[in-house]
C-alpha cells in the first residue's frame, strides 16, 4: 500500500462513524483532499455546536431553564446528548409547574385559612350578640315563672298553666342553645343534669301542649304507662322533654285527620345502678319509604321537598334527638311504612334513686334559711346588670334567699361600689354599657385592698359561646352561669364561693 493510500485510509477511519459513510471511493490526491475538507468542516461544526451547548447549559445555571437544545440533521453523539438534555428539561418543567401549582394551592389555602378564621371570629361575635339578645328576655320569662310557681296561693289551673309556660320555655331554651351552637351538640359536648322528675307528669304536659292541635285534627291519642315504671326518675328532664317533644310533634304533624297516635312507656330492664325505660311513639301518619329511613337522622333532611313545603320544619329535630339519645347512652329505632305509619322506639337509662327522698325544687327555694357570714350578718351581694327586668328578677330571687343586694347598671358603677362598700360576692353581667364585665373585673382584681380585690365574682350572662368562658376565667372571674339560670344553681354557687372565701 502506498503512502497516499495509507493517508486516505487513515482519514476515512477518522471520519467514519455509524451515521456517515465515506465520500470518495478512489485513491487519488483529490479524494484525500475531499475527505480532509469534509472532516475539517465536521470538526468545526461539532466545535461550534459544543460551544453552543456549553453556553446554553451556562444559561440554565443562570436561571433560564426552559430553552431546548437544537437537534441537527447529523444525528451524531451530540444530537443524542441534546435529545437527553431536552427530555430532562421537559421533566424539570413539569416539576416546576407542579411546584408553582403547589405554591399557588398553598397560597390559596393560607388565604382560605385566614378567611375561615375571620369568619369564625365574625360568627362568634354574631352568636354572642344573638345569644345575648334572645336569652336575656327568656331569662326574665323563666325566672319570673319560677317565682310564680313558688307562690303557695296559686290555684290548680293557674299552676298548671305556669307549668306549661315553664316547660315550653325550657324546651325553647334548649332549641336556642342547639341552634346557636350546633357544633357543640354535634361533638357531644352538651351538659346533662341529673335531677328527680316525674316522667308521667312530663309526658302529660307535652301532650297538653299539643292538645288543641290533636283535637282540631280529631286524632285518637292515647298514652299508656307500665306500672313497673318508677314514679320518680333521676335524669335530665329537659333533655327527655326535648326528645318526647320532637317525636310527638312529628307524630301530630304527619298524622292525618282521624288518625291514631299511641305513646307507650314501659320498664325495660334493670342494670347495675340503672333502670332502662322504653318509650315508643307510634302514629298512623304518612310514613316513609324504606330507602329514606337511614337518612332521617341526618341534619336538614326530610323525606321530600313536598313534605318540607306541606308540613314545614327545620329538619333538625330528629338529628338533635338522635344526638341527645346517644349522649345519654340510649338507643333509638325507627320502623316505617309508606302511607301506613311510623314507630319510634327510644330506650334510655336512668340512675337508680330513692323516690322517698325527692324534694321539689320549688319547695327548696321556698324554704331557704337566712344565710349569714362571720358576725351573723347576711350575705351581701353586688349585682352588676343593665337590664331592668333581670335586675328585678335577681333581686327577688336573692331576697327569697334572705341575701342583701345592691344593684348597679354597668361595670364602672360596680367598681365604684366595691371601693366604697363591702360585699361577699359579685354577680357580674358581661355585656354592659360604659364598662363591660371583663374590664370591671380586671380593675377589681388590681385593687390595693386585698379583701376587695379577692371578692368572689360570678359571671351571670346571656352569652354562651366557648370564648366567653375562657375570657371570663382569664380576667379572674371565679365562676360562670349562663342565663337563663337555675335558681338552685345560683344559690349553691354563691354559698360555695362565700364559704370558700371565709375559710381562707
* DSSP code per residue over 187-254: TT------EEEEHHHHHHHHHHHTHHHHHHHT-EEEEEE-TTS-SEEEE-HHHHHHHHHHHHHHHHHH
Mean pLDDT of 204-221: 87
pLDDT of amino acid 364? 33
Mean pLDDT of 43-47: 82
Say if residues 302 and 315 touch (Cβ distance below 8 Å): yes
Q: Kindly state the percentage of the chain with pLDDT values over 70.
A: 80
Tell me the domain boundaries of the chain: 3-61, 154-353, 362-503
Radius of gyration of the chain (CA): 42
- And the C-alpha cell for 174? 334548649
More confident residue, 249 or 406: 406
Say if residues 111 and 452 touch (Cβ distance below 8 Å): no
pLDDT of amino acid 417? 95
Mean pLDDT of 223-240: 90
Mean pLDDT of 37-62: 80
Q: Give tens-digit pLDDT for 76-99.
A: 777 788 888 888 878 877 777 777
H-run or E-run covering 280? strand 274-283
Q: In sequence order, which residues have a C-beta less than 8 Å from that of residue 385 and are 6 or more positions away? A: 391, 394, 407, 409, 427, 429, 432, 460
pLDDT of amino acid 299? 66
Q: What is the DSSP letter of 295?
A: T
More confident residue, 185 or 440: 440
| Spatial CA neighbour of 396 closest among 384, 412, 407 | 407
**Residue 307's pLDDT band (boundaries 50, 70, 90)?**
very low
pLDDT of amino acid 120? 67
Q: Give tens-digit pLDDT for 124-144.
A: 666 666 666 777 788 788 888
Mean pLDDT of 241-248: 89
pLDDT of amino acid 249? 87
Mean pLDDT of 169-195: 67
Say if residue 281's pLDDT is above 70. Answer: yes
- The burial class, CB within 10 Å (0-12 / 13-18 / 19+), for 438 is buried
Q: What is the DSSP letter of 273?
A: T
- Arithmetic mean of pLDDT over the chain: 80
Say if residue 244's pLDDT is above 70. Answer: yes
Tell me how far apart the alpha carbons of residues 385 and 431 are, in angstroms, rounded to a whole number.
Answer: 9
Q: In sequence order, which residues have a C-beta less than 8 Å from that of residue 246 and are 6 or more positions away? A: 317, 318, 320, 321
- The burial class, CB within 10 Å (0-12 / 13-18 / 19+), for 263 is buried
Say if residue 465's pLDDT is above 70. Answer: no
| Spatial CA neighbour of 343 closest among 260, 449, 424 | 260
Say if residue 30's pLDDT is above 70. Answer: yes
Mean pLDDT of 331-341: 92
More confident residue, 369 or 274: 274
Q: In sequence order, which residues have a C-beta less than 8 Å from that of residue 495 and are 6 or more positions away? A: 371
**What is the fold, at CATH topology level, of the domain defined by 362-503?**
Rossmann fold (3.40.50)
pLDDT of amino acid 181? 52
**Does the CA dihedral 363-367-371-377 come out positive or negative?**
positive
Q: What is the DSSP string of 109-147?
A: HHHHHHHHHHHHHHHHHHHHHHHHHHHHHHHHHHHHHHH
Mean pLDDT of 375-380: 74
Tell me how far apart the alpha carbons of residues 424 and 401 are, in angstroms, rounded to a whole number.
Answer: 14
Q: Which of 16-30, 267-281, 327-341, 424-438 has the lowest mean pLDDT?
A: 16-30
238 C-beta neighbours (distance < 10 Å), count:
17
pTM of the model: 0.50
- And the C-alpha cell for 354? 330513692
Say if residue 224's pLDDT is above 90. Answer: yes
Say if residue 36's pLDDT is above 60. Answer: yes
Mean pLDDT of 176-197: 67
Say if residue 311's pLDDT is above 50. Answer: no
More confident residue, 370 or 85: 85
Q: Kindly state the percentage of the chain with pLDDT values over 90.
A: 27
Q: What is the DSSP letter of 270?
A: E
The arrangement of secondary structure in 154-353, i.e. its CATH architecture, is 2-Layer Sandwich (3.30)
Q: Residues 173, 178, 184, CA angle at the centre, nearest 5°?
A: 130
Say if residue 360's pLDDT is above 90. Answer: no
Mean pLDDT of 260-289: 92
**Residue 309's pLDDT band (boundaries 50, 70, 90)?**
very low
460 C-beta neighbours (distance < 10 Å), count:
25
Amino acid at each position: 500500500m502506498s503512502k497516499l493510500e495509507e493517508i486516505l485510509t487513515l482519514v476515512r477511519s477518522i471520519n467514519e462513524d455509524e451515521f456517515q459513510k465515506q465520500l470518495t471511493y478512489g485513491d487519488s490526491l483529490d479524494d484525500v483532499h475531499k475527505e480532509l475538507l469534509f472532516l475539517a468542516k465536521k470538526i468545526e461544526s461539532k466545535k461550534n455546536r459544543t460551544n453552543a451547548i456549553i453556553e446554553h447549559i451556562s444559561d440554565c445555571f443562570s436561571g433560564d431553564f426552559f430553552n431546548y437544545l437544537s437537534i441537527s440533521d447529523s444525528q451524531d453523539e451530540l444530537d443524542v446528548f441534546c435529545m437527553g438534555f431536552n427530555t430532562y428539561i421537559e421533566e424539570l418543567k413539569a416539576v416546576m409547574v407542579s411546584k408553582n401549582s403547589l405554591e399557588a394551592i398553598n397560597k390559596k389555602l393560607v388565604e382560605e385559612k385566614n378567611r375561615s378564621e375571620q369568619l369564625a371570629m365574625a360568627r362568634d361575635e354574631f352568636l354572642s350578640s344573638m345569644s345575648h339578645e334572645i336569652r336575656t328576655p327568656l331569662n326574665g320569662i323563666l325566672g319570673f315563672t319560677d317565682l310564680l310557681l313558688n307562690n303557695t296561693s296559686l290555684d290548680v289551673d293557674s299552676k298548671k298553666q305556669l307549668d306549661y309556660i315553664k316547660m315550653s320555655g325550657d324546651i325553647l331554651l334548649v332549641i336556642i342553645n342547639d341552634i346557636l351552637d350546633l357544633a357543640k351538640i354535634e361533638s357531644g359536648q352538651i351538659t346533662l343534669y341529673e335531677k328527680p322528675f316525674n316522667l308521667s307528669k312530663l309526658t302529660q304536659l307535652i301532650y297538653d301542649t299539643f292538645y288543641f292541635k290533636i283535637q282540631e285534627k280529631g286524632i285518637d291519642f292515647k298514652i299508656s304507662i307500665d306500672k313497673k315504671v318508677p314514679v320518680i326518675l333521676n335524669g335530665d328532664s329537659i333533655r327527655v322533654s326535648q326528645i318526647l317533644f320532637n317525636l310527638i310533634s312529628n307524630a301530630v304533624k304527619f298524622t292525618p285527620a282521624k288518625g291514631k297516635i299511641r305513646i307507650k312507656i314501659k320498664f325495660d330492664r334493670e342494670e347495675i345502678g340503672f333502670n332502662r325505660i322504653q318509650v315508643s311513639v307510634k302514629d298512623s301518619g304518612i310514613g316513609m319509604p324504606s330507602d329514606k329511613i337511614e337518612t332521617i337522622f341526618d341534619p336538614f333532611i326530610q323525606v321530600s321537598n313536598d313534605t318540607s313545603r306541606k308540613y314545614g320544619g327545620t329538619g333538625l329535630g330528629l338529628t338533635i334527638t338522635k344526638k341527645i339519645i346517644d349522649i345519654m347512652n340510649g338507643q333509638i329505632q325507627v320502623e316505617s311504612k309508606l302511607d301506613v305509619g311510623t314507630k319510634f322506639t327510644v330506650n334510655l337509662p336512668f340512675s337508680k334513686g330513692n323516690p322517698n327522698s325527692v324534694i321539689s325544687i320549688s319547695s327548696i327555694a321556698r324554704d331557704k334559711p337566712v344565710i349569714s357570714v362571720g358576725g351573723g350578718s347576711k350575705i351581701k351581694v353586688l349585682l352588676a346588670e343593665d337590664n331592668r327586668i333581670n335586675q328585678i328578677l335577681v333581686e327577688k330571687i336573692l331576697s327569697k334567699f334572705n341575701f342583701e343586694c345592691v344593684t348597679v347598671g354597668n361595670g364602672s358603677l360596680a367598681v365604684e361600689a366595691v371601693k366604697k362598700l363591702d360585699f361577699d360576692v359579685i354577680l357580674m353581667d358581661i355585656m354592659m354599657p360604659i364598662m363591660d364585665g371583663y374590664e370591671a373585673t380586671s380593675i377589681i382584681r388590681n385593687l390595693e385592698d386585698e379583701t376587695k380585690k379577692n371578692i368572689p365574682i360570678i359571671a351571670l350572662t346571656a352569652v354562651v359561646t366557648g370564648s366567653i368562658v375562657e375570657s371570663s376565667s382569664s380576667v379572674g372571674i371565679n365562676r360562670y352561669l349562663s342565663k337563663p339560670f337555675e335558681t338552685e344553681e345560683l344559690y349553691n354557687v354563691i354559698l360555695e364561693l362565700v364559704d370558700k372565701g371565709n375559710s381562707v
